[in-house]
Each structure stands twice: as structure tokens, then as C-alpha cells.
Amino acid sequence: MRKWLLSFFSVFFLLVQNGKAQSKVARFSHADTLRGSVTPERAWWDVLRYDIEVRPNYLSKTIQGKNAIRFRAQSKGSVMQIDLQPPLLIDSVIQNKKQIRFKKVDTNVWYVFIDKSKKSKNLEKDLVDTIALYESITIYYHGKPREAVRPPWDGGWIFTKDKLGRPWMSVACQGLGASVWYPCKDYQGDEPDSGASLTVIVPDTLVAVGNGRLQWKKVNKDGTATFKWEVKDPINNYDIIPYIGKYVTWHEDYNGEKGKLDCDFWVLDYDLEKAKKQFVQVDSMLHCFEYWMGPYPFYEDGYKLVEAPHLGMEHQSAVAYGNGFENGYRGTDLSGTGWGLKWDFIIVHESGHEWFGNNITTKDLADMWVHEGFTNYSETLYTDCQDGIEAGNDYCIGTRKRIQNDRPIIAHYGVNEEGSGDMYYKGGNMLHMIRQIINNDPLFRAIWRGLNRDFYHQTVTGKQIEEYISAHAHIDFSKVFDQYLRTTQIPILEYKVKGQTIAYRWANCVSGFNMPLKIDIGKTAWISPSETWKEIRADNDQDASSFRVDRNFYIHTKKLD
């Protein structure tokens, strides 16, 4: 969903990331550890549900609200880490109708001291059988939230106007964190298992849209209206988002693998007609993605596409759309092949995240390649669905020119750090090579569907995904993952031609790199290079001299004398 894809931001992104790489020690502060790791004040409790209420003030660019956090103890503990970014402030914390103590301990971190003076059925009981037992606190807060300067790349609350000068508000906060606008356990590895609700109070001239389904709307006597939305399924913190503006809506049914899927579309009133024309692509997108990745993961909450005051994000069951109702990526084909202009990039890419990113979520930001690499490759799968396998190949290969190889794709764990933006295009090309090596599309499809079935609504580590693919493909891809995710080296196939014989080996690779290759020597053949020389014979000298590697493999070749 998502953030660093515009070609004209690529140089900016590279400079920022290189700047970070030159100051690693300074980058990993105590605050980074508090945000990115399972601290003792996080480890003992599990989030079950968030019930958020927020009242934004457009003129003062302030918000006030509350979050009722339902949680379950997993071990003994009484000090709870709550994340809330300045300049927002906690006003009070209520437990069992009484205020309890809290204090700020770091820039973005507050400690809440759970009251254990009364025996809580959850916190004091033997923890062996507490599945149905829980405790809750309500945190009241207010302030002027960080305002997004260039959303979604620079996150925060968005206070803007539509083309008619009317208020238009939303939030974009992936990476930056949901704690930029509401107090929570801002850690990807702990989603609210029982879902969340979002209640938004706005002027009654506006409409508030949220994740999931609208529970009710109430017109208040003070000139405001209250909208309550709810998701039943687990949800990422950064996916819980309000959209506030002059919205209109229409509904369609999609007959999917699990029956009728409710599809709702919310756009600004003056964009209704062109939105209806552009959003017809949702049907083919859902058809393709359900074929390759399994049933849409959130039938309970429905699918929504919501016009947003920024380019787009993968907000679960309420996908943000801001692509101007045109094909490509703001009218540009990211692959440079022409295939990317046949469909709307934001509809396809951000919706692909419903499977990888929202259904399957990584515990640590360092493993975001699972979100972005798979979703990037969903673009190839969609192109494949619409225009055939060679069109998909063209699209995927065309994106390679955007790979920077600046830093490893997998970042440092436990410090809330994302790896290189190569998690998109390089991650997608890595998966494309794995598809070639498996050389069995029904099996490749079964693995993608199996991932979404076996990790349904779960948080995972990247290592789990790597091992799953190897186990179900019956091919050890561990060295492929090490090479493409953990280094910036592109493997080089060195080769020599002498008569009908081609000698070859891997160079510029991790120790033990063993990726097989599909080649052409007058006919298609497979070789299994290693770091030592091996040989293959062509039928004649001409075929040997025209030796080439199949274009679907992202490697370099070097002919030696």
C-alpha cells in the first residue's frame, strides 16, 4: 500500500535511505526499541479489541477522543506500555469506572498502571484458562496531531479541501504508526483479535466513512452527526482510518468463492459518474485475486473502495483510492511496457494488500517484503489474468529498472525499521523466479492460496513465509531468499564457451547459492550452477555460442575467455 512507488520520488527515497545508512548508531535509539520490540510492558498483555471515538476540529486542526482497549493477560503484569505520539496528550485513563495512574516515559511512550487492588477475574486468576476473560481500560486524549505534509509518504492527519473548497479529512500512517492519532499498542505483531470500532463525530454537513460496516448514524442537536463503523476481523493498527468529506455511495454484489461479497464505493459527490466507470475494474480484480490467492479474506466486513485525499493505501476493508480515475500509476506505466496502462494501479495494488499485508501481516516492520513483494507480484498475476502469461512476464521484467540495490530488503529487527524500497520490484522479481523454478503453475497457485489459508488472519515472521514456500514446493529456496532479501548482490553467472561445451558457475553470491536456471542452447534446458565450474553440451557450436539465460531470471551474466 502504498508508499514509495512514484518514480519521481525514487531519488528522494534513495537519498533519505542512504542518509539513514550512514548513521546507523544514531538511528537505533531507545525510542526505536520501545516502538519496535516486545518490551516487558507489552509482553504480558494481548489486545482483543479497540473501540475508538474521535472528534476532529477542521478549523483548529485538533482532535479529541478516546480508545477503549479490551485486553487479556498472558502472564503476570501491571504496567502497560501505551503508544501516543506528541503533541497529542493523554488526559485520563479509566478502569472499572475509576481513574488510574499513568505517566509519560519517552517521546512516544506512556506507562499505564493497571489497578490490581480489586481482584480482576482476568489478571489475578490462574492464566491457564482465561480465554474468555478480559479486562479493559479507556484512554481519553486530545491535541493537535502531526499533520501529513505529503501523504501517504509523509504520514499523519490530513486536513485539506476538496475541489469545491469543502473540508476533506483522513489519516495515512503506515510506518509512522497509528499512535500518531490514537493511543494504542503500536506494534504490528499484536492486532485486536476481535476487531475494532471507529466512531467519528463530524459536522452534519459531512459524511464519515470507516473500516468495515456502518453500524449506525445519528444526527445530533449541536449541528454534528455521529457515524459508527465496525470490523469483526483482526486488523492492523495502521489500517484503522477515518475518511471525512462530502461522500456519496453505491453498492454492488460480487459473487465470490465464499458467496456474496458486499462491495461498497464511497467517492466525493462530484466524482460519482467517473468513479462508476473506473471502478468496474474491481470485479476482474477480485476474480483474478480469488483465483490466485484464495477467497477475499474479509467477507464478514465487506470490500470498500474510498476516495482519499492522497494517492492510496491498503486500509483493510476500506481501501484508500486517489489515482484520479485513470489507468496506470497516475497515468504512468511503472513497467514501461504498456501493460500497466491497461488497469488502474491503485485499485489492483492496494486491494492486493487485503491478502498480503492485511490477511497475512508481519510481526516486525523489517519483514515488510511479505506485504510489498507479494503485492507487487499480484500486479503481474493480474496482468497475466487479463492479457496472458507473456504479458505478465513483460510487466514483471519491465519493473526491474526501478530496482536500486541500495540496501538489503530485510532490515534490522526490533527497532521499527523498514528495509530497502526494493521490497517492491526486487521482491516481486524474486517471486517471479521462484515461479519459474517451481515450473508448475497449479502448484505455485496452491502455495499462494495455502499461505492465505494457513496464515489466515495471522501475524507472521518472514522466516515462516520462506520456510512455507520451500516446504510446499519441495525445493529448498533458502539460499535464494538469502541472496535477494539479505544482500544487495545480484548473482552473476560466469560462463565460457568452447566448441559445443559451455562451462558455468555462480559468482557474486552468498555461500552455497544454488538457484537453478532455465537456459537456451538451441533448445530449452535447465542447469544447476554452483560456485564451482560445471559443464553442459549443446548440439552444435552455433547453439553453444548463442547460449542465453531465460529472461525471467533476474541475474547478471558474464562471458569469460
Instruction: Work out the mean pLDDT of the chain and round it to a whole number.
Output: 93
Does the structure show a pLDDT above 70 at 291?
A: yes
**Nearest by Cα to 41 from 74, 73, 69, 78:** 78
Q: Within a domain: residue 309? A: no
CA distance 370 to 464: 10
Does the structure show a pLDDT above 50 at 358?
A: yes
Q: Within a domain: residue 411? A: yes
Q: Within a domain: residue 199? A: yes
pLDDT tens for each residue of 55-80: 999 999 999 999 999 999 999 999 99
CATH number, domain containing residue 433:
1.10.390.10
Residue where one domain finishes, among candidates 203, 232, 263: 203
Q: Within a domain: residue 165? A: yes
Do 505 and 470 reside in the same domain of the chain? Answer: no
**Nearest by Cα to 343 from 326, 319, 323:** 326
pLDDT value of residue 118:
57
DSSP 410: S
Angle between the N-to-C axes of helices 369-387 and 462-473, in degrees from 0 to 180, rounded to the nearest 10: 50
CA distance 142 to 155: 19
Query: Residue 351 is part of which domain span?
Result: 1-36+329-488
CATH number, domain containing residue 47:
2.60.40.1730
pLDDT band at 28 (very low <50, low <70, confident <90, very high): confident
Do 196 and 66 reside in the same domain of the chain? Answer: yes
Residue where one domain finishes, among candidates 184, 203, 222: 203
Kind and range of the H or E run holding 33:
helix 30-36
DSSP 248: E
pLDDT band at 427 (very low <50, low <70, confident <90, very high): very high
Q: Within a domain: residue 96? A: yes
pLDDT value of residue 134:
81
DSSP 491: P
Q: How many domains does the chain have?
A: 3
Do 446 and 505 reside in the same domain of the chain? Answer: no
CA distance 421 to 404: 8
Does the structure show a pLDDT above 60 at 129?
A: no
Residue where one domain finishes, among candidates 434, 469, 488: 488
Q: Within a domain: residue 25? A: yes
Does the structure show a pLDDT above 80 at 356?
A: yes
Question: What is the value of pTM for the model shown?
Answer: 0.93
Do 5 and 150 reside in the same domain of the chain? Answer: no
**Is 428 within 8 Å of 380 (Cβ atoms)?**
yes
Do 31 and 120 reside in the same domain of the chain? Answer: no
Kind and range of the H or E run holding 170:
strand 167-172
Do 421 and 403 reside in the same domain of the chain? Answer: yes
CB environment 225-259: b (16+ within 10 A), e (fewer): bbbbbbbebbbbbbbbbbbbbbbeeeeeebebeee
Does the structure show a pLDDT above 50 at 124?
A: no
pLDDT value of residue 13:
38
CA distance 137 to 274: 45
Do 7 and 90 reside in the same domain of the chain? Answer: no
Provide the 3-class DSSP secondary structure of residue 427.
helix
Q: Within a domain: residue 243? A: no
Do 541 and 465 reside in the same domain of the chain? Answer: no
Which of the listed ranges 112-121, 128-137, 388-397 does the model predict with the highest average pLDDT? 388-397
Q: What is the mean pLDDT of residues 395-422?
A: 97
Kind and range of the H or E run holding 4:
none
CA distances to 162, 273, 328, 348 from 383, in Å: 33, 26, 12, 10
CATH number, domain containing residue 554:
2.60.40
Do 453 and 474 reside in the same domain of the chain? Answer: yes
Do 30 and 67 reside in the same domain of the chain? Answer: no
pLDDT band at 116 (very low <50, low <70, confident <90, very high): confident
User: Exposed (0-12), middle (13-18) or buried (19+): which is 559, by Cβ within 10 Å?
Assistant: exposed
Do 32 and 42 reside in the same domain of the chain? Answer: no
Q: What is the mean pLDDT of residues 301-311?
A: 98
pLDDT band at 82 (very low <50, low <70, confident <90, very high): very high
| C-alpha radius of gyration, the chain, whole number | 25
pLDDT tens for each residue of 512-526: 999 999 999 999 999
Share of the chain above pLDDT 70, in %: 92
pLDDT value of residue 113:
98
Does the structure show a pLDDT above 90 at 5?
A: no
Provide the 3-class DSSP secondary structure of residue 380.
helix
Do 456 and 502 reside in the same domain of the chain? Answer: no
Catalogue the long-range contacts made by 514-518 (C-beta closer than 8 Å, 24 or more residues apart): 514/476, 514/479, 515/433, 515/437, 515/479, 515/480, 515/483, 515/491, 516/437, 517/493, 517/549, 517/550, 517/553, 517/555, 518/436, 518/549, 518/550, 518/552, 518/553
> Could you identify the residue written with the cell 551474466?
557
pLDDT band at 27 (very low <50, low <70, confident <90, very high): low
Does the structure show a pLDDT above 60 at 189?
A: yes
Q: Within a domain: residue 418? A: yes
Which amino acid is located at 437 in the chain? I
